[in-house]
Structure 1
């Protein structure tokens, strides 16, 4: 069974006003006093953010329990200094992000200017174990068409700087400002993958390998493939659903590689269109079908993803969980739909944040 781990970025907000708070250093100091949390939480680019990482897990029940527990611990530590946490991929309310003072973040601020200063966005990254770099690159090549569906399922950022964006995942549009972000061409081998990464670092446009922000990449720290397309999910069970789908995509791609099945050679241009459509529509309108790159109803595209990985899901015992989770999202909506429903009902972005604080820990 491949292990899977999740990294989530949470927004620190004032529990009364809903405004983001630059208090990550204080929260991390609180967490450092707790032996169990010393290696769980990390500082992020902006002081209004808090990141955590789960342990590698083989079972989705265990992963779900850990995400819920750590979200609760994050809320507890934040509460001790008068803040709370919200699983929001962007801040609905206006904010002036403050960049952390370490050398890496200051280099980014100097190099990328306003793109760094405005990059207050929270994502969900999923790591899945692979046996080798060769297997990992074979996976990266074969999961490309399906990643936009994960973006649509996880979409949780319809507001930006106090305004309705017209997008379900505006976070993904902001993220694309990084020079190394987005879908990739086919690599074909680990040697070609590493050569491309080395060339990018040698260009001095990015600082190091960790700044290669491909949608799917080999992790620089772990023996994993890392999928980086999802918004941080409003509900913990949606994060687990995304993780289950990612593990199944990795397993399916690895099996295809071993069976000699060639990857689908969609161009980067078409993959970018699929990403844009997923960011715009989420689950509320048509998406681009990964097999054809033509418009299809969101429900049909989500069903196609589940069918594509059904064998791997069945083998891991996750098929019914995923089917139930997808049915629930299609019926009740993802985070973007929940946020808009609160906005339409109350007319208050503060109430949107307040509601999302509750959802984060439910």
Structure 2
């Protein structure tokens, strides 16, 4: 039993370092442990500000750390990534993930910052789909469409959390039959693992007791210059996709798989995000910039493969994205408007972050030509995505 309990204690110590220093028994910590705790306290949100009861369940903050010194803070409210601390080219730690500094901030300013998204990530046209001859109606929370699971999707749920050593966290949520209009009781397990080569690996798994649709993802907002530091227009992006899915004025795919060649959506070679973001192109106008699904070369795979790379010339930080999914939504932060202040105290202005949400395609339940998102009893939904960080040499 000691081998099972000890890592969880160490994990709690790293997360709760601010509280630990104020406890009467803090003097019993070794000098090396106190040093680690003090470093975490200076760089990460205060654990106490994440401890609350929401919908009858307790929320908390968990910190993953690896041998290289990288740290990732997570909360079980929405299964969110709260902070990602990685070294820049000078060795200074930079938080490259947008988010808030307390549970109350997330509750009062409900958003998708860093959250797990479900039951269906992205949009479903007019909040309706038909499965096995029956039409299901969903909440329309994004104009005429349903977005990211509805009015109270997985982002607004408290997940059951189980630390796995000091570099992993397993989360579970059971979505009941009929929740947000979706059929079937869906049991979801998501495991975050911080690898020793500075990768955040996310393993998704789900089962159902009735035919349903499912499309899970993480909605982290990245700024490799540091959250709250300004535009990401200077970031250089490459996406391994020859095609993308054009959208109508409400951002629902038209069904076409259009070539990126000769368009502002051609990121097959490294290109600054801001270079063509305001190009005179109908799809740029529909999205207000980039908010489109890219059809990844090779389709869905059994093992994660490299599908995108983003880098900051300023900090030297590079992020590689690996996934088993057939698509990725590249969102350029077009709807950020400065009305939300992040954990650093700085407002999140337009296009000061980007998202690379690995996924099946938007509106797939209504588009039979897209890869299927149907999950049946006896089947197991499994996908893996990894965000891997390094410094350009």
Shorter-chain TM-score above 0.5: no
- Give the structure with the larger strand fraction: 2
Return the TM-score normalized by structure 1.
0.29
The higher-RCO structure (CA 8 Å, 6+ apart) is 1
- Give the structure with the larger helix fraction: 1
Return the TM-score normalized by structure 2.
0.27
Structure with higher Rg: it is: 2
